[in-house]
Chain A
Amino acid sequence: MRKNQRVISLFTALALTAGLLCGCASGESSETSAPAPEKHETADLSAIRAQDDFYGYINAQRLADTLPAYGEMMWGTYNEVEDQTVEEVFGLIAEIASSDENYEAGSPEYLIRSVYDQAMAFDDNAAVYSEVLCLCDRINGVRSIGELAALWKELYRSYGANTPFQPVVRQDYFKAGQYSLIIDQNKGFCGSAFEDISDSADDCVSMKKYITDMLMSTGCGKDTAESKAADAVRLSLDIAHATDFSAGKVSNPFAAFDFVSEEDMNGIFSNLDTSVIKLFFGLEENPYGGWYVKDRGQLEKINELMTDENLESWKTILISELVTANIDFLSSEADSLSAYGSGEEKEYAVCMKIASKLFYNELSGLYAERYYTPEMDKAIREMCEQLRESYRELIGNADWLTEEGRAALLAKLENMQFILPDAAVTPADPDSAEVIKNSYPETIRAIREDSYDDSIKNIGAEFDMTRPGMANFEVNACYNPNNTVTITAAIMHAPFFDPKADTGTNLGGLGDMIGHEMGHGFDTTCMDCNEKGEYAPDWLCDADRQAFAQRAKNMQKYFSTFTVLDIYHVDGEKTSGENYADLGSMECIVNILKDDREQLKKYFENLACINAETRVDSYAIEALETDEHSPGKVRVNALLSCCDEFYEIYDVKEGDTVKVTFGADGFLPSVRELRVRAATLTDYENSNGMTLVMSEKMFKEIYKDKPLNVFISCSDPEAAAKVIRDHSADMVSGIQTREEYREEVRQNSSSMMVIIDAVIALALGVTFIGVVSNCLIGFEGRKRECAVLMSTSLSREKLSKMFLTESAIASGAALAAALPLQAFLYRVFVSVLDGLMITIPVHISGAGSAVLAVIMWAVFTLSALFPIKALRKMNIAVQLKYE
């Protein structure tokens, strides 16, 4: 784990002396001499600097050319590899299907080929249809809720009809190594989600239409079907309104479920007997004494509605679910179902069904046998141990842990088990050949029953900790809170893994996948599980837990600062588990590669590459709420922004030229090219206590691109001055103590203020003379006009008044125009002073300026007295007599 999460911190690689010059390079105009990779061809994209946006630096070009396919929400490296994998899986199925080999009965190949052949040959949907109609008759004949429940369970087991309760036999999250009974939240009926119908009348209407179609396919008349469908929707709405949708979205398994004892369950099932629920689990006795329940309120509502009054509605739902589950067979048989056929090509549909439903696990084993080579196996095993060793070091060095805590985390790390692709390869089970029946529908039914029975068989059994968490053809890996990491074979594709690639590259792909999953072992959720992978929040002492919580909080804050589309913030809390895993992985791998710059670079590059993705805007925003992972860009940039080693490689370094913009937000920015004289590593330079190191980013934050002065607080100024002098050559113009500096500023200011005052006085005087002579010259040209006016229409007083008014307006307008001009000139003045390295506190008071403005206005207005006086002296006759 990281020693501490530094948000903005003294990251990198610039000694003070270098920092003075380079630390202020502005983002837009500066460039380092680091060679730009060839792939960045267009000017814009290649201008992205690694240290500013590494994700963009690596991926911009590739992403610019690739948008999500029409109708897709996103596209990324994962999707690319997935496409490749799907092809392989389908190829595998096709190969097995067309093989002449005499497969051993019960072997995965045998099962797949048999089902494939049956499916392709099957053309008697009518038989299935009449079977379903018989089942519907049975449903319609039911007299009580209890009877219906029993039938429902049967149809659930054999025909896949979705049930009101969601019975799941799954690993006990709280007790590693055990199974438990889980009643999951019911998300909806008949293809409509409760969440959708709860707030959309449109969705209710389409649900009603759907159910009507299902009922009509079983021979029900349109009107009857419609009224029954309306009742069923009403019932569904009742459940929807009692459903806690946020509970359904909690991903932390420890927070998601409440344990409900048998006794409590009797309380919930007031209308029904608890035996109903046992029935669904195929049980007489509950060996665990209770159930884990995800949404108790929903369960209570379902119980409330499970009365004989609602019997007809429940029947409607069951019929709909039954038809839905078998729609592949039925869509061709009834008019009302014709719109619900999948429309997929038969072969594709069959392959899809085999891979995703019927023989997911078997195919996973086959895929590993085919694509997972001993070379890969060796590489994974080595990498896992390499990563474990690195985590060992990180935990060993983590200074925030108590010794007990350290020992506990180390124990958990040692216990962590890797489930590798070959774990999916299982020996052929001759018994399983029995699922292959005489016809495709029968086989499907047998497989369903088999799978249900298998899961029921697990009740009371020990949870198999070596069971893979996902199939080998998924481009993914996962961590199970029971402290196991599953790594799939599909992940062994480039760019994740390539036997010919560098260590760093493979660590950036596969290494990061594994490191990430291992990191989950210590994330905000799984930190509550002890070294055996059991839920036991107090397995760590208070001090460790508090320290961890504080760090998690910092991290959440840190990630929340990142945005999508500039304004939508990442939800640091929601993504905290994934971010933790990412950070852990990054630290772990950097720790491995820290002494090998080349490989470290390759690692960073591939990390950016595998996270490359484009999302359509709407999904980019939606994913912030629905995806527990941060967006790809954040997964790269946020990590690297707190990685010292990254900045060592990609930030400015010795010999680089940097263009620095001084006064970038001023009116007179000036660009200068500077060469970095020295760069230094934080770790060893810090030890002598005299070298100041700060990142370019931080430098800019403090000095706003104007590194005129750097103030250093230190215990030994003499020694610090010497360091600066020795390393700065001629780049630092002077070193002073604070008192010296203040004295100089004071003197500079007072002498400068005198000059400024003099300049202002001079300027005003000159201006006044200018204004007066301007008035008089103006008057000279207007004399004749004045004479005409006075001879025909105006008295001298009136004309004088007009002069005065004119002057007042002109002066007022001039002053009004002068205000913005003054503001501008003030900035120019200040930047000129800055350019001259003169620091003067120039204060302009509002009231003072106002008084001055009024005085100036009066003075300039009164300049009209000069032409007025001339007017008085003027002889009108003389002006008029001659041309």
Chain B
Amino acid sequence: MDLIEVTNVSKTFGKGAAAAKVLNNVSLNVAQGEFVSLMGASGSGKSTLLYLIGGLDRDLEGSIKVCGKDITKMKERDLSRLRLETTGFIFQFYNLVQNLSVEDNILLPELTKGRSRAELKKDLDEILEITGLSDKRKSMPNELSGGQQQRTAIARAVIASPQLILADEATGNLDSVSGTEIMNLFLRINREKNITILQVTHSEECAAYGTRTVRLANGQIM
């Protein structure tokens, strides 16, 4: 059983005459431990597919299974639990909570699950070390460079020990040096923590870090 099983998924935005089919009968499997890069032209539906897999958008045809569970048939509440437990998101625009410090942004998901700071201390130190943010732990997001912000977002995703990380153009906004750092980080996470990664990227270079590249065009996997 693969970690992600996307079967015959179609997605249409709008209705009637304005309807636009962005995904057409897409099927995609990602196995546990893979580092898959999803590429495609702008507007080809990469992000849409990623969000569908992440359960952030449930309006679709076909079925998507994550960890063997069909998320299209789950109740909203169960889905959000599954998402919070298994999936970490990384976005092009980082999406940090602006009025929390680096440390608090990273801890937020775990704290809301009811764990204490003391419990999390070891994990936090480790992830800060891995992401190279040890000396920025008390900084606020707006005091950080884009790369540092993205690393914070990665740390936030990783600290919850998800099985899966969904990254939408994580380096899209960064210079190449920072981009390389992020990719090395992904690689390390994928190898050391055995976290499956599905990343959307425009860059062949970045895609090369993955174990496999999937291409989307005209709403279908090539």
Which residues of A line the B interface, CB within 8 A?
784-785, 787-798, 875-878, 880-881, 883
Contacts and interface: CB of A to CB of B under 8 A. Distances in A.
A794 B112 contact: yes
B84 interface: yes
Contact of B95 (A788, A795, A798, A877): A788
Contacts of A797: 77
Contact of A798 (B47, B76, B108, B112): B112
Contact of B84 (A787, A795, A878, A881): A795
Interface stretch (B29-37, B50-58, B191-199, B204-212): B50-58
A881 B112 CA distance: 24
B73 interface: no
The size class of the interface chain B forms with chain A is: 20 to 34
Nearest to B52: A877
Given A788-B95, A795-B80, A797-B77, A880 B109 contact: no
Given A788-B97, A883-B93, A795 B77 contact: yes
B4 to A, nearest CB: 17
A876 B112 contact: no
A342 B5 CA distance: 121
Contacts of B109: 792-793
A523 B83 CA distance: 103
B57 A877 contact: yes
Contacts of A788: 95-97
Contacts of B96: 788
13 contacts: A792-B88, A793-B111, A793-B113, A797-B77, A798-B112, A876-B56, A877-B48, A877-B52, A880-B51, A880-B89, A880-B95, A881-B51, A881-B168
A30 to B, nearest CB: 58
A796 B89 contact: no
A876 B108 contact: no
B76 to A, nearest CB: 7
Closest A-B pairs by Cβ, 7 of them: A793-B109, A877-B51, A877-B57, A795-B80, A876-B56, A877-B56, A793-B112
By DSSP majority rule, is chain B's interface helix, strand, loop, or mixed? Answer: helix
A792 B80 contact: no
B188 interface: no
B76 A880 contact: no
A832 B159 CA distance: 63
Contact of A875 (B57, B97, B108, B156): B57
B121 interface: no
Nearest to A872: B76
B138 interface: no
Contacts of A880: 51, 56, 89, 91, 95
Contacts of B57: 875-878
B108 A792 contact: yes
B90 to A, nearest CB: 10
Contacts of A883: 93
Contacts of A793: 84, 108-113
Interface in B82-103: 83-84, 88-89, 91, 93, 95-98
Interface in B10-65: 47-48, 51-52, 54, 56-57
Contact of B156 (A784, A792, A878): A792
Contacts of B54: 791
Given A787-B95, A792-B108, 18 more contacts: A789-B108, A790-B80, A791-B54, A791-B89, A791-B95, A792-B157, A793-B110, A793-B112, A796-B77, A876-B51, A876-B57, A877-B48, A877-B57, A880-B89, A880-B91, A880-B95, A881-B51, A881-B168
Contacts of B84: 792-795
A796 B80 contact: yes
Contacts of A794: 84, 112
B81 A785 contact: no
B173 to A, nearest CB: 9
B142 to A, nearest CB: 14
A157 to B, nearest CB: 102
Contacts of A791: 54, 56, 83, 89, 95
Contacts of B98: 785
A877 B57 CA distance: 6
A544 B77 CA distance: 100
A669 B57 CA distance: 65
Contact of A796 (B76, B88, B111): B76
Contacts of A784: 95
A792 B91 CA distance: 11
Nearest to A881: B47
A875 B95 CA distance: 16
A794 B77 CA distance: 11
Interface string B133-157: 0000000000000000000000011
